Amino acid sequence: MMNFKTICIIGMGYIGLPTASVFANHGIKVLGMDVNADVIGHLKAGKVHIFEPGLQKLFHQALESGRLQVATEVSPAEAFIIAVPTPFFEDKSADMRYVESAAESIVPHLQPGNLVILESTSPPQTTVGLVAPILEKSGLKAGRDFLLAYSPERVLPGRILEELVGNARVIGGVDPASAEAGRDLYQTFVQGDIILTDATTAEMVKLMENTSRDINIAIANEFSRLAEKFGVDIWEAIGIANLHPRVEILRPGIGVGGHCIGVDPWFLVEAAPETARLVRTAREINDAQPAFIADLVDQTAGGVAGKTIALLGLAFKPNVDDLRESPAVKLAHDLEFRGAKVLAYEPFKPEAGLPGITQVTTLAEALSEADLVLLAVAHDQFKALDPAETARQTPAKAVFDAVKAWDKPKWEAAGFAFTGLARRF
């Protein structure tokens, strides 16, 4: 069994920073590296730059212990973890430049016996076909001179710290010794099962998990479109259908976002376009859902051109500050394209600086000029809004609930014309 004392984690984002903090609080000396000098500046000042419950406290503890340091340069360590973004280009092909750069930064510091783990979600065969050749520029051979594995993050924003520890961890090595070394490292804090396999299987597992969910969301979204066409309340229909013991239809909404479910399936489409036909179709359905919602809002409002819409929520899911690939952002752009003036309020990131979107910093500001109030993200504070109080804060006489978070009769009793995604009740 290997006993790691030092780790360098490359990428201090939604995964790298929590991972670094957890490792440091479990007794390992960690260097958290990020090329963004502003991010490192915030961290050196003791402030986390992302919202995640419990992270500020955990990070502060790690920093105070002296076991966590941050820098803009890689330093020698016994193990290196790559936790950088893997976005995609306009044509939906994977942008692996961050992974390539991270691997290149390790090369000068790689020593015999070191372990390198890629955590970034990646197309199949990235570990063996991209990362290994870059690292081998050091003159060392993967699986012979150094250990190399892939271990995808499998956590939910809003519950990252809990799930980092409790979830099962998949570790795929370029050889069995690499997988075993990864197990030795992560069992420092992982309480869930640790499953060992090969690197490409581990990559495939992560993509399968998110693609499966994307497909299930796509059928729910398509059902919502059919329900609109047939005059059916989709929420009633789903509730009845889900009474069947072998049926579990998910909730429809405004689309799919985040850095995982909205991105990962495209890696399979890119790798095998002729085979991944269902995967592509599901992605296209979910990507088109914001425009479908914009069409519904346009129709129910009798045209949005020239009207002001208070858009509540820009995050990709409730109660997080993550705006990556958010369908709410796309919805805002779609409404602007139709001629609406959109005042967007995102309580978890009120000044995100998104191009082409007018953000306001308070709910009152969003409501004060609105002709229509559009609920795009079911943040708890939006779900708790009192219709009568809201009526006193806005000239708007209409609301549109795109995520079924509001009680239709209560809002109608407060004087609002109420519509929503395939809603009758």
Biggest CA pair distance of the chain: 73
Active site residue 260: yes
CA nearest 136: which of 150, 144, 182, 152?
A: 144
Tokens encoding 285: 């359905």
State pLDDT tens for residues 391-422.
999 999 999 999 999 999 999 999 999 999 99
SS3 412: helix
Order of strands across the sheet that contains 358-360: 358-360, 341-345, 308-312, 372-375, 398-401, 417-420
For residue 120, count CB atoms less than 10 angstroms from its CB and return exposed for 0-12, middle for 13-18, buried for 19 or more. buried
State pLDDT tens for residues 172-198.
999 999 999 999 999 999 999 999 999
CA dist 81 and 68 (Å) reads 14
pLDDT score of 258 more than 90: no
Per-residue confidence band for 51, with pLDDT thresholds at 50, 70 and 90: confident
Per-residue confidence band for 92, with pLDDT thresholds at 50, 70 and 90: confident
Q: Which residue has the higher pLDDT, 75 or 259?
A: 75
Average per-residue pLDDT in the chain?
96
CA dist 72 and 79 (Å) reads 17
Active-site residue, selected from the candidate residues 8, 47, 57, 206: 206
Quote the pLDDT of residue 153. 87
CA dist 126 and 102 (Å) reads 13
State pLDDT tens for residues 328-377.
999 999 999 999 999 999 999 999 889 999 999 999 999 999 999 999 99
CA dist 276 and 268 (Å) reads 7
The answer to whether residues 21 and 55 touch, using CB atoms and an 8 Å cutoff, is yes
Active site residue 29: no
CA dist 274 and 287 (Å) reads 20
Q: What are the domain boundaries of the chain?
A: 6-192, 222-420
The residue behind tokens 């010794």 is 177
The 3-state secondary structure of 220-232 reads HHHHHHHHHHHCC
Active-site residue, selected from the candidate residues 47, 92, 137, 260: 260
CA dist 190 and 167 (Å) reads 7
Would the CATH topology of 6-192 be identical to that of 222-420?
yes
CATH number corresponding to 222-420: 3.40.50.720
pLDDT score of 319 more than 90: yes
Per-residue confidence band for 157, with pLDDT thresholds at 50, 70 and 90: confident
CATH H-level superfamily of 6-192 = NAD(P)-binding Rossmann-like Domain (3.40.50.720)
| Partners of residue 173 on adjacent β-strands | 149, 198
Residues above pLDDT 70, as percent of the chain: 100
CA dist 218 and 408 (Å) reads 25
Tokens encoding 292: 């479908």
Enter the DSSP assignment of 130.
Answer: I
* pLDDT (mean) for 247-272: 93
- Distance of CA 363 to CAs 29, 343, 350, 403, 413, Å? 43, 10, 10, 18, 22
Quote the pLDDT of residue 184. 97
Does the global pTM surpass 0.85? yes
Per-residue confidence band for 88, with pLDDT thresholds at 50, 70 and 90: confident
Per-residue confidence band for 1, with pLDDT thresholds at 50, 70 and 90: confident
